[in-house]
A = this chain, B = another copy of it.
Amino acid sequence: MPLTGQEVAEHNSRESCWVIVHGKAYDVTEFLPEHPGGPKIILKYAGKDATEEYEPIHPPDTLDKYLEKSKHLGEVDMGTVKQEDKEFDPNEEARQDRIARMPILEQCYNLMDFEAVARNVMKKTAWGYYSSGADDEITMRENHTAFHKIWFRPRILVDVEKVDFSTTMLGTKCDMPFYVTATALGKLGHHEGEVLLTKAAKKHNVVQMIPTLASCSFDEIMDAAEGDQVQWMQLYVNKDREITKKIVQHAESRGCRGLFITVDAPQLGRREKDMRSKFTDVGTNVQSGAATDNSQGAARAISSFIDPALSWKDIPWFKSITKMPLILKGVQRVEDVIRAVEAGVQGVVLSNHGGRQLDFARSGVEVLAEVMPVLRERGWEDRIEVYIDGGVRRATDIIKALCLGAKGVGIGRPFLYAMSSYGLPGVDRAMQLLKDEMEMNMRLIGCSSVDQLKPTLIDTRGLHMHTTSVPVDNLGMAIYDPLVNPREKAKL
């Protein structure tokens, strides 16, 4: 016999805390201090139906995985659960109006356009989560800006009638030299979540990297792949190496073709824009490790699934448990790339986690320019595949990275924004736009295939400078009358 709403409602305290998810009740009293997002957010729903907030940020297998069976209390007669009146929310109404007036998809001409639309139509908290970065978000912005410091030295009079920008990554042939990189909580943007990206990747024959912190379960995402579609796995290493081993071996058995171990996140970053957007209500689990008011609880909780003690010593163990290629994701200086080669991994991703971890970490493409000459000097450029991610928005960004020596680039947020705005057609168009840009720009740089992309085709002299201007002379600026163009005659 199902539980009644009244029965559940009595367990509304830290001492006894039940919640309803998808019509079933769960006793999470003991789990409270373990919750990666802190106990507060659960207690807000103590004795109530938490489905709406729970849904987008927990894969469907979460409760099975993390809550022992005895705490699964069974069905609830939802007719007896008191409906809470939703407050009228003028912001939400305005958002619905903006959704009604969204530009048609064909008006998006580049990847930035999707972001512009997404900012208008996404829920504020979801936007806050996707769009935020660490501290002052300086690295997050630098990521794309860094590409602006690289200029082309194009060749002319090269036959570019046929342009082929396919390439091979970790042995997989891809139609374009990018992959869909791992990003968390896809359902915040679209109810289908990551499987939607799986479909888009298939259509354009590019690889998708599956995130540990996906909204869909790992198996759902794998199941969404078709035919010989290739997927990789991104991994946060759990303190309990047995759990990690189980995850890795499961991924391998399901056919994953690459294991990308995140090494730039011993602790998840503080993202103030996200905190300020009130996402703290639902999203602290993935980032507020050391927030002032809950540092003990959450920090411990997180350390259960992201192990800050992960070190070079663990690499041999990974090699012992899987045959998948190992790639270190989040390498940030040449010394560590050399060490990665020596450790025998197959690849590195030069990345700063989309600017969400350490502010003032350099952009992947800047690190790439530091790394490749050293590898070439040692004759090691073929001993490891080097990828970058962060800030890629234009085909020219991709071409620049490949000229420097990258095998491919990861793209994350732009596809999330395209998905959040227009669903699958949005991601499809985003990829098609990249393809159009690739074709044109390969031609314009005078290359008909990616192996022709070489360092001599770019000018990177400005890349390494981190300059700021002398602070503005406000008094001087205030008294200067800017020149103006001729004025129109007055209206009659």
* Residues of chain A at the chain B interface (Cβ within 8 Å): 98, 100-103, 106-110, 112-113, 115-117, 119-120, 131, 135-138, 141-142, 144-146, 148-161, 263-267, 269-270, 272-273, 275-276, 289-293, 295, 303, 307-312, 314-315, 328, 330-333, 335-336, 357-362, 393-394, 396, 400, 429, 432-433, 436-437, 439-441, 443-445, 456, 459, 461-476, 478-491
Contact = CB atoms under 8 A, between A and B. Distances in A.
A470 B149 contact: yes
A470 B475 contact: no
Contact of A488 (B120, B276, B439, B488): B120
A102 to B, nearest CB: 7
A486 B113 contact: yes
Contact of A465 (B100, B272, B396, B465): B465
A491 B102 CA distance: 11
A332 B444 CA distance: 11
B272 A109 contact: yes
Contacts of A478: 112, 116, 482, 484-485
B110 A475 contact: yes
Contact of A145 (B110, B263, B473): B473
A461 B466 contact: yes
A336 B469 CA distance: 27
A362 B483 contact: no
Contact of A101 (B113, B144, B154, B489): B489
A24 to B, nearest CB: 34
Given A290-B439, A467-B467, A475 B310 contact: no
Nearest to A112: B475
Contact of A485 (B100, B441, B466, B479): B479
A389 to B, nearest CB: 15
Contacts of A272: 109-110, 483
B486 A276 contact: yes
A107 B12 CA distance: 27
B267 A444 contact: yes
A154 B307 CA distance: 18
Q: How many copies does the complex hold?
A: 4
B266 A160 contact: yes
Nearest to A336: B156
Contact of A141 (B131, B471, B475): B471
Contacts of A148: 138, 360, 466, 468, 470, 473
A461 B436 CA distance: 37
Contact of A295 (B436, B474, B481): B436
A465 B476 contact: no
A467 B464 CA distance: 9
A436 B210 CA distance: 30
A116 B311 CA distance: 41
Residue from the set A154, A270, A276, A481 with the largest chain B CB neighbour count within 10 Å? A154
Nearest to A267: B443
A154 B358 contact: yes
A465 B464 contact: no
A441 B483 contact: no
A170 B136 CA distance: 32
Given A149-B468, A154-B358, A157-B328, 15 more contacts: A109-B270, A109-B276, A112-B479, A116-B486, A137-B471, A138-B470, A149-B470, A152-B358, A158-B311, A159-B309, A358-B396, A358-B441, A462-B465, A475-B485, A479-B485
Contacts of A113: 475, 485-486
A481 B131 contact: yes
Contacts of A358: 152, 154, 396, 441, 444-445
Given A142-B470, A266-B160, A467-B467, A112 B485 contact: yes
